[in-house]
Amino acid sequence: MSIVNLTTLFYGAPIGTRPIAFRYPIRYTQPVYSSSSSSISAILTKEQQSKLPADKMKETQLEFQFDFKSYMVEKANSVNQALDAAVSLKEPVKIHESMRYSLLAGGKRIRPMLCIAACEIVGGDQLTAMPSACAVEMIHTMSLMHDDLPCMDNDDFRRGKPTNHMVYGEDIAVLAGDALLSFSFEHIATATKNVSPDRILRAVAELAKCVGSEGLVAGQVVDICSEGADVGLEHLEFIHLHKTAALLEASVVLGAIMGGGSDEEIEKLRTFARSIGLLFQVVDDILDVTKSSEELGKTAGKDLVADKTTYPKLLGIEKSREFAEKLNKEARQQLSEFDHRKAAPLIALADYIAYRQN
């Protein structure tokens, strides 16, 4: 079943009527804008950006404000330190160098942040979530390493650097990705503290399903088999709910499990994650045709060259932007019953995914 009703997909508030900012109020009735232009991105046109009222660019009196930019920097630094410690340089040196080359190459660390924020929203803390947060980033890195291989997307650059196989060769890149995948499960099992064995087992099973033949792999296989084919929206949604959304879903659900969330809370957060997972891909498709390789830090326009079906190809740019806005709204609705302060990071992360520039 589709997570959105495609027949009513494009009826709603026009894009650009909602505030975009790095600082988010807990009372959402009054928007807060930041002067930072970096928060406005793919789903707003330049014309729409220019129409943002000047008087709204000033912060207004609010009970609470969430500084998302500081949050991102703090969490990314913590995740980077944890990843560096988790995957150390040891024998065999070459394979561990290859693993660390891609794992520590930068990136926004969105998935680990989602994991930590989901843990915190149900009453957990960062320390409890960190092994799972690192695990999902290891798997994400593996998927990028394998996607970039000549037999897959055949990319030479990732995050502004030569791809792993360009530096270490295809054989080592494959094995390094495999090593990251297997170690991710080991890391959850051995590094997670103060969580019951039942919850750890549940988290490991959840992660395995989300990245296996019914999750990420399923989406990747159907995507490969669909190149050059005439596919519709439902087919495209299947691909991206599995290829892209599955790991974002795992990130959020693992955090909620580790944080001690109830079954009801976990399922609300799962629905939230599926919406932002699909949102992530819609925005990715838009960026692929509207940004340069230098802006993206990876090869732009590769979907067009590969004759892949994308949301802009099926819907056009403007309808794709409207779809992205609708998905973001649906995601935020799933958080309405959580404590507003604890929900602020997830709301901000959803907006960041919607309005990112690369």
How does pLDDT run across 175-220, given as a tens digit for each residue? 999 999 999 999 999 999 999 999 999 999 999 999 999 999 999 9
Q: Write down the pLDDT at residue 1.
A: 42
Q: Write down the pLDDT at residue 54.
A: 44
Global pTM value: 0.80
Q: Write down the pLDDT at residue 32.
A: 34
Secondary structure of the chain in HEC code, one letter for each residue: CCCCCHHHCCCCCCCCCCCCCCEEECCCCCCCCCCCHHHCCCCCCHHHHHCCCHHHHCCCCCCCEEEHHHHHHHHHHHHHHHHHHHCCCCCCHHHHHHHHHHHCCCCCCHHHHHHHHHHHHCCCCHHHHHHHHHHHHHHHHHHHHHHCCCCCCCCCEECCEECHHHHHCHHHHHHHHHHHHHHHHHHHHHHCCCCCHHHHHHHHHHHHHHHCCCCHHHHHHHHHHCCCCCCCHHHHHHHHHHHCHHHHHHHHHHHHHHCCCCHHHHHHHHHHHHHHHHHHHHHHHHHHHHCCHHHHCCCCCHHHHCCCCCHHHHHCHHHHHHHHHHHHHHHHHCCCCCCHHHHHHHHHHHHHHHHCCC
Q: What is the CA radius of gyration of the chain?
A: 20
Q: Write down the pLDDT at residue 119.
A: 98
Q: In order of start, what are the domains of the chain with their CATH numbers? A: 68-355 (1.10.600.10)
Q: Write down the pLDDT at residue 194.
A: 94
How does pLDDT run across 258-283, given as a tens digit for each residue? 999 999 999 999 999 999 999 999 99
Q: Write down the pLDDT at residue 168.
A: 96
Residues (pLDDT < 70) of the chain are 1-64, 291-307
Give the number of other CB atoms < 10 A from CB of residue 13: 11
